[in-house]
Structure 1
Amino acid sequence: MDIHQFEDKGLAHYSYAIYSEIVKEIILIDPSRDITPYLEYANSMNATIVGVIETHPHADFISSHLELHHATGARIYCSALTGASYPHTAFDEGASLRLGNIILKALNTPGHSPDSISIVLTHGGEDRAVFTGDTLFIGDCGRPDLRENAGNITADRNTLAKQMYYSLRNKLLVLGDDVLVYPAHGAGTLCGKSLSDADSSTIAAEAVSNWSLQPSTEADFVAELLSQQPFIPKYFPYDVAINREGAPDLQPALEKVPIISGEPVPEGNVVIIDSRPAAAFKQGHLPNAINLQNGGKFETWLGSIIAPGEPYYLLAANDQELWQLIRKAAKIGYETNIKAAAVTNGGAVTMESMPLANFREHPEQYTIVDVRMASESKEEPIFENALSIPLDQLRERVTEIPTGKPVVVHCAGGYRSAAGSSIVAAALKDKVKIYDLGDAVKEFAF
């Protein structure tokens, strides 16, 4: 037997292959959009992928379950509560699968979503591991506020938080101490709020260290779980819907993205996403462009700033990065939104450098806009009287920024402020000077 963990660092996502050497077969759990790593693993083991299990319709990434079904004939398993549109076999509590001498048993574990399941792996007559999806994480549990307006079954956050309380205690905590815990996400995901950097654990270790498994009343647990959850990116409900239907195969979808030579001529209010480093962007860019830099969280912020179905232009510094970004967009189903993709060398619009010396002496002479999450701004304020408008809300709320003084945009390290200052500059450039504090914020924060 082999349990192989795949990691997508950009989305802090874990997927799994369970391999039986007896029958040379593999079952996958929660696969990401690109099927290539799974096919390569199967080939390396000289094995066949015979099944794919979805623990729930994911909100933060597009799953490849339907493409894997097309490519390998693998049967797809999910909870009957999902209301899946793709060919599938219901896999709910009481159901089990055999893979050689491995048995996979379904547990209904609602809380993150009404249709969440966990999968217990039994080998040699003993429970060895549990794949917890977005129910139990390492150091945390799944957030309960993503299915109020998405999916086949909707549920309010209070109801789901109460269900999470019992799923954790009555379904998972009762497993053996040495049972390995394999979650669908690690630190950095927006599907929880305080995950560990570890990629696996045990029931015993989580019983000691995970706040969500500590003795508490239902009411206290619900209050804590609902407090200070991260923002919900715009794309989350969209991805739930796609995953319930099954996404189009990746390669044909990528081939439909229009790649053009030369920079696009913007049409109307179509957004331009310029992924170059902030310094290059400030030296010259196209009018109204948003500087969303290519980095570890590009896809998350793309889906937080751009609404589902909203067309956008995608610009990169070279061909290699352009294709990398198109594939990142596809991870959240946003490749279909790309009106055109192109390599850019800049443009005529520039952004002035931050007058840092003057700002240090006279911060009161500037309107300071904090684009961190509201909880970050509240817990760790950096500037007195700063206007808090989280980055994911900035395009919609930019008119709240007064224009009587120059505007300085900041975050915690510079990535979000580059995007935020470009959004503000595009909206207010004719009214006031806009500056990006960038990574200089660190000298004020510490």
Structure 2
Amino acid sequence: MADAEVVPLVDEGLGNSAYLVDLGDGRGLVVDAALDLRAAWAATRRRGLRLAFAAETHLHADFVSGARQLAETEGTRVLASAAGRREFPHRGLRDGDEVDLGGLRLRALATPGHTHEHLAFLLLDGGAPLGVFTGGSLLVGSAARTDLVAPERTGELARLQHASLRRLAALPDEVAVWPTHGAGSFCSAPPGAERTSTIGREKATNPLLALADADAFAAELLASTGSYPAYFRHLPEVNRRGPDLLKDDPALTPLDEAAVRALLADGAMVVDARPIERFAAGHVPGALANPLRPAFASWLGWLVPADRPLVVVRDRDQDAAEIAWQAAKIGFGGIAGELAGGMAAWTGPTAAVGLVRADGVGGAAVLDVRQEREYRAGHVPGALHAELGSLGGDVPELPRGRLVVMCGHGERAMSAASLLARAGYRDVAVMTGGPGDWAGATGRDLVSES
């Protein structure tokens, strides 16, 4: 059965992959499935499978796990680390434990580092290893961060990550590597990396595997980690206890303008999911711009307090279910509903944001809100820098004259501009495009920092 079909289920927004394994007998195994099971259900329906097993490599920080939902509603058998002390039905596994999948077998490998209870799962056909689900241990070209459990354990876990990677590297070169975290994940993965690999390819190309010394490995790994959304700090405990079960698919409740006004008067916040051009032309004053795109969930969880009620504004051609699912998969349950009819139904005052092209920045102060790694790789000369995530709390003191905000395309910049407007900055515009567009329009070089 060495041709077992393993189907990646990629969430581009979170930068993660779940995996569906066709066990060949009408049953399936899913690894690291999020609460948003739409892709998993579509893949199982196409293959006529029943999800018999759900394996969890670790207590996830970046999404709500779908394991409990599957266990309670489908009778799926959950396989997870015994050290994780999950409080819902599952089979707790320890290092070396094996599970008979009916022809194939799954062997648990203790691989602490990303979390203290992390397991990798080796998929075996007889005695032959086919591939390994590495979760947040060995990634394509990297390894996942170790600073999400507790600050005082970060260094210890980084050294454990070193040992875990070397253990995995001892597998045969032809063994497939199926990580959960990939490019775009805030759990640490290099940009542009492929989603899957092999042990041999990682041994030849992964710079972290070339570091034999645990302290050198820890220093290199920790130097590569950037900031992460605030909701990462509480989701592991949500997933350990077991997320609330969904009785129905999440949805946006229609609210008339009077209901929206009442909610705003009581402290609610508007999240405007429309494209940046639509938000710029007119929006509810004080609204947060978060254009609907794959990264919508991450920025929602990063910029909005989890306990703050939200009202969504969207265009009619934007999928309300997609907005609701993106909020649900990060455990954001504070959406009160949506403004029925969108901005066309709003009769109150509106606010606007100016848009400028790359050749229209002029002598304005420039604020770059990309991640630190992006900024250092190349930015407009003299540009100020503040990551978008840092603007969700106390906004730093910035020039009070004309300010042009930029990112890579415009979406994050518009989110930043809306936050700056809430903080009292009045002369703020957003540059459409990114640093490359500015360099092309002006003929000037970007500044890079090593």
- TM-score, scaled to structure 1: 0.89
What CA distance in whole angstroms lies between the structure 1 residues aligned with 2:288 and 2:424? Answer: 13
For structure 2, the 5+ residue unaligned runs are 441-450
What CA distance in whole angstroms lies between the structure 1 residues aligned with 2:285 and 2:45? Answer: 48
Q: What's the counterpart of residue 385 of structure 2? A: 388
Matched, 1:370 2:368: yes
Give the 5 Å matches for 1:20-419: 20-21=23-24, 23-148=25-150, 156-169=153-166, 171-194=167-190, 196-252=192-248, 254=250, 258-262=253-257, 264-265=260-261, 266-318=264-316, 320-334=318-332, 336-342=333-339, 343-345=341-343, 348-354=349-355, 360-361=361-362, 363=363, 366-384=364-382, 386-403=383-400, 405-419=401-415
Could you list the per-position Cα deviations for residues 73-106 of structure 1 after superposition, in whole angstroms to 9, with x for gaps in the alignment?
1221211111211112111212100112211100
Contact persistence 2:280–2:355 (CA under 8 A): no
Could you list the per-position Cα deviations for residues 367-405 of structure 1 after superposition, in whole angstroms to 9, with x for gaps in the alignment?
332212233334423131x332211111323252242x1
CA deviation after TM superposition for structure 1 residue 179, in Å:
0.6
Match of 1:10 among 2, 10, 13: 13
What CA distance in whole angstroms lies between the structure 2 residues aligned with 1:31 and 1:113? Answer: 17
CA deviation after TM superposition for structure 1 residue 117, in Å:
0.4
Contact persistence 2:211–2:217 (CA under 8 A): no
Q: 1:185 to 1:80 in 2, by over 3 A?
A: same
The percent identity for this pair of structures is 28
SS in 2 for 1:58: coil
Contact persistence 2:229–2:301 (CA under 8 A): yes
Q: 1:183 to 1:358 in 2, by over 3 A?
A: closer
After TM superposition, the structure 1 stretch with the greater mean CA deviation from structure 2, 240-249 or 116-125, is 240-249
Contact persistence 1:238–1:308 (CA under 8 A): no
CA deviation after TM superposition for structure 1 residue 437, in Å:
1.9
Q: 1:205 to 1:422 in 2, by over 3 A?
A: same
What CA distance in whole angstroms lies between the structure 2 residues aligned with 1:55 and 1:48? Answer: 21
CA deviation after TM superposition for structure 1 residue 354, in Å:
4.5
Which amino acid in 1 is paired with 2:165? Answer: L
Contact persistence 2:379–2:435 (CA under 8 A): no
Contact persistence 1:120–1:131 (CA under 8 A): yes
Could you list the per-position Cα deviations for residues 154-200 of structure 1 after superposition, in whole angstroms to 9, with x for gaps in the alignment?
x621111100000000x201111111111112211111131554222
What CA distance in whole angstroms lies between the structure 2 residues aligned with 1:136 and 1:176? Answer: 15
Match of 1:19 among 10, 14, 22: 22
Which amino acid in 1 is paired with 2:404? Answer: V
Paired residues, number: 430
CA deviation after TM superposition for structure 1 residue 357, in Å:
9.4
What CA distance in whole angstroms lies between the structure 2 residues aligned with 1:244 and 1:77? Answer: 13
SS in 1 for 2:174: coil
Could you list the per-position Cα deviations for residues 251-299 of structure 1 after superposition, in whole angstroms to 9, with x for gaps in the alignment?
53625x5332447212244221101111111111101011111112111
Which amino acid in 2 is paired with 1:412? Answer: G
CA deviation after TM superposition for structure 1 residue 224, in Å:
0.8
Contact persistence 1:60–1:332 (CA under 8 A): yes
CA deviation after TM superposition for structure 1 residue 116, in Å:
0.7
CA RMSD of aligned residues (A): 2.3
Match of 1:433 among 427, 436, 450: 427
What CA distance in whole angstroms lies between the structure 1 residues aligned with 2:93 and 2:306? Answer: 30
Q: 1:44 to 1:440 in 2, by over 3 A?
A: closer
SS in 2 for 1:376: helix
Could you list the per-position Cα deviations for residues 321-355 of structure 1 after superposition, in whole angstroms to 9, with x for gaps in the alignment?
22221111112111x11122234126632335356
What CA distance in whole angstroms lies between the structure 1 residues aligned with 2:49 and 2:56? Answer: 20
Which amino acid in 1 is paired with 2:185? Answer: T
Contact persistence 2:302–2:392 (CA under 8 A): no
Q: 1:435 to 1:42 in 2, by over 3 A?
A: closer
For structure 1, the 5+ residue unaligned runs are 150-154
SS in 2 for 1:71: helix
Which amino acid in 2 is paired with 1:303? Answer: G
What CA distance in whole angstroms lies between the structure 2 residues aligned with 1:29 and 1:112? Answer: 17
Q: 1:285 to 1:112 in 2, by over 3 A?
A: same
What CA distance in whole angstroms lies between the structure 2 residues aligned with 1:44 and 1:414? Answer: 37
Runs of 4+ in 1 over 6 A off after TM superposition: 355-358
SS in 1 for 2:19: strand
Q: 1:35 to 1:280 in 2, by over 3 A?
A: closer
Contact persistence 2:15–2:181 (CA under 8 A): yes
Contact persistence 1:139–1:211 (CA under 8 A): yes
What CA distance in whole angstroms lies between the structure 1 residues aligned with 2:286 and 2:91? Answer: 48
Which amino acid in 2 is paired with 1:7? Answer: V
Contact persistence 1:128–1:179 (CA under 8 A): yes
Q: What's the counterpart of residue 444 of structure 1? A: 438
CA deviation after TM superposition for structure 1 residue 302, in Å:
0.9
Contact persistence 2:285–2:351 (CA under 8 A): no
What CA distance in whole angstroms lies between the structure 1 residues aligned with 2:234 and 2:439? Answer: 36
What CA distance in whole angstroms lies between the structure 1 residues aligned with 2:326 and 2:73? Answer: 22
Which amino acid in 1 is paired with 2:20? Answer: A
Which amino acid in 1 is paired with 2:288? Answer: I
